Structure 1
Amino acid sequence: MAEAYVTSDEHPACGICPSRRFPLGAFDVFERPSRDCPFNPADGHRYTTDGVPVCVHPEKVGIPAGRYKTDGLPVATKLALPDDVAELDSYLRDVMHSAAPGVLELLIEQAATEIPRNFPGVDVITTLRRALS
């Protein structure tokens, strides 16, 4: 079996989240609990009607909602940088620290591209170091 998407005990994903058992792409992520992913009282997990494991907290696993296993969707991460440069460090810290390793690299690449566009004159390396420390 491939390594789970979330491997750190420090990650905000729930202890019962499929991200702790399956690699990225082997489970779906829904915006919230729904009838499309009922709770299974036998094992405490949520599944689609086709038996695909479902996470219902995209903000905790650090990836947007999507039917990654069901539809074979690739992970598309998108930074939504704040309008105010004063909020940049805390925003990046929250996003980077809640991201799993497979997504972190994509987020860093996006930040390196987007920060100079949105905030000319901001030192990208220094900003990312503060966010990641």
Structure 2
Amino acid sequence: WHHAGTRKYPFYIALENNEPFAFAGIADEWINPATGEKIPTFSLITTQANSLLEKIHNTKKRMPVILRPENESKWIDPSVSAESAFHFLQPYPANLLKAWPVSRQIASRTSDPSSPELIQPVSYPEFQLNLS
């Protein structure tokens, strides 16, 4: 989301080549002491925003770590050392990404998350952002 004054604007972000990609994340389980229930947890790892994403995520200037394809299997390989994996946690090159504003409906709990209309470019007359 881009913050402009008191308003926020959602963006769709994709690889320039439209290929799917993987985020770096960590997962674990913990036991709820009150119930004994095993609770799975997951967190995305973030890094400093690249030049494209710092324009969009303009308040916190961070982005999720997008793994390069050659590092995806290494990220989940338990034989790869933490020190080696740490080197994967770099901002993805801005020139390999594209982004455009989308409807605020993308955050609505009543919207169908698989609806292709949610990622169509939208113009906000009161808002312009130069991403180049």
When normalised by structure 2's length, the TM-score is: 0.21
Q: Looking at both structures, which has the greater relative contact order when contacts are Cα pairs under 8 Å and sequence separation is at least 6?
A: 2
Higher helix share: 1
When normalised by structure 1's length, the TM-score is: 0.21
Higher strand share: 2
Q: Which has the larger radius of gyration?
A: 2
